[in-house]
Structure 1
């Protein structure tokens, strides 16, 4: 096995399990203790994992990091589309819904754009554009506000636009989800706008792939206990599903395409 292949295998194992001891990696890869330690040191310096005493843990983004919409769009595409397909089954023609900014919620918009006569309240520029260009007679309410790197419109203008509005169901994305911290975002102003979206909604459906769990952003905007439905993909670990079942009224696992 080449060194690059060995390091890739280490990263994949740590990301799958969350953490790994040096001894585990030695047994798994059939190399020396020193080789594994050097690999971990190299991967830590590259930001691909975090070195800890006796092993390594999965790298986590900093709480204030805010990836752009384009960067996130290329990640977990199969999972996002599966989640969007499951969420689309909750939307009926003529419904009044809210859709927050995000790449998974954008996939939902793509999945429902053929449904007729929807009224959609959103703070997402891409979602609004996608639905506006469809030929299904949608009414799209775009909040206005200051545009973030994730193409969300946020701030006092967005919050003011949402006050007095009412939607039957909100489809909400999140930067990270944690048992204690709840749903979080690295953007303080976006957190405020997300709270306004929640306040305008009768029920909240969260869309999140398996990579979002255990991530904690700078600001909490919703507790897990206040989520009505959470849709995730089948690669979410069993221990995470058990945690969600204790906190959320309904957890839905979206089916990935065969071979996905």
Structure 2
């Protein structure tokens, strides 16, 4: 694999790593170069196994998500809208499980206004947002801490979940593929999501529009394993039809008017 990159290649790589996907034409505009120049640099990145070409776009396949703090700033207005809609569907006194993720971090902030929830999570920032607020009881899974994901993962964290049964599991997913369903970049994160699904009466997936049409390394579950999917924009075909066929309730929560957010170039 080559390790020396020019500034244009590095800018493309940074953008696709950050956002998961970017259009060739949008990259060309952002970098003030031609589409063909972008394609030439993309071919080099494809050869290195870092990205793949897909219908006029570049998709990140480098093997991991961006760090947690960086993901918090991407599509922030969309994630806040999703979080508000999720919180409206959680009753006071409910028992909920939340996995780690930037979207579920916003959900945790919105849930702080509810009362006397029992919250089980492996996310450090999620626990921090809810502990000591409005009578909430917060249980944080132990195990090996992953600083990049701000979460506890591994066999100890999975065993911890087996002590609980929740009314609702709220999951933040990395990718939603038309063929493979729910996907994630990390095997341990996928295992945690599956464990929460098993230990909850209902499953809610909170995912912004950028997650549709993406693929990641690890398959989590079929779309039919989800009871409710909350997003901030109507999903593209074929997803809307597939969700309906699988019996998944779809909620589209529009961001507040005038809200600013970071989006893919």
Q: TM-score range by the shorter chain?
A: 0.7 to 0.9
User: Counterpart in 1 of 2:167?
Assistant: 168
User: Counterpart in 1 of 2:100?
Assistant: 101
- Output the TM-score relative to the length of structure 2: 0.78
Structure with the larger RCO, 1 or 2 (CA within 8 Å, 6+ apart): 2
Q: Per the alignment, do residues 225 and 18 of structure 1 end up closer, same or farther by CA in structure 2, a change over 3 Å counting?
A: farther
Greater C-alpha Rg: 1
User: Counterpart in 2 of 1:240?
Assistant: 239
- Output the TM-score relative to the length of structure 1: 0.79
User: Counterpart in 1 of 2:139?
Assistant: 141
User: Counterpart in 1 of 2:118?
Assistant: 119
Q: What CA distance in whole angstroms lies between the structure 1 residues aligned with 2:174 and 2:62?
A: 10
1:79-101 CA distance string (max 9 Å, x none)? 00000111011111111111111
Q: Is the 8 A contact 2:51 2:61 kept in 1?
A: no
Q: What CA distance in whole angstroms lies between the structure 2 residues aligned with 1:94 and 1:153?
A: 25
Q: Is the 8 A contact 2:22 2:59 kept in 1?
A: no
Q: Is the 8 A contact 1:96 1:168 kept in 2?
A: yes
User: Counterpart in 2 of 1:203?
Assistant: 202
More displaced, 119-128 or 236-245? 236-245
Aligned CA RMSD, in angstroms, stands at: 3.1
Q: Is the 8 A contact 1:49 1:58 kept in 2?
A: no
1:237 deviates by 3.0
1:207-250 CA distance string (max 9 Å, x none)? 00010112222111221111000011126335433333333420
1:114-136 CA distance string (max 9 Å, x none)? 211110011111000111143x1
More displaced, 220-229 or 230-239? 230-239
Q: Per the alignment, do residues 144 and 242 of structure 1 end up closer, same or farther by CA in structure 2, a change over 3 Å counting?
A: same
| Structure 1 residues without counterparts, runs of 5 or longer | none
Q: What CA distance in whole angstroms lies between the structure 1 residues aligned with 2:247 and 2:57?
A: 26
What is the DSSP-based 3-state SS (H/G/I as helix, E as strand, rest coil) of the residue aligned with 1:220? Answer: strand
Matches within 5 A, 1:1-260: 35-42=34-41, 57-62=56-61, 64-134=63-133, 136-148=134-146, 149-234=148-233, 236-237=235-236, 239-260=238-259
Q: What CA distance in whole angstroms lies between the structure 1 residues aligned with 2:51 and 2:153?
A: 32
Q: Per the alignment, do residues 51 and 215 of structure 1 end up closer, same or farther by CA in structure 2, a change over 3 Å counting?
A: closer
Q: Per the alignment, do residues 138 and 240 of structure 1 end up closer, same or farther by CA in structure 2, a change over 3 Å counting?
A: same
Q: What CA distance in whole angstroms lies between the structure 1 residues aligned with 2:60 and 2:53?
A: 15
Q: What CA distance in whole angstroms lies between the structure 1 residues aligned with 2:245 and 2:200?
A: 23
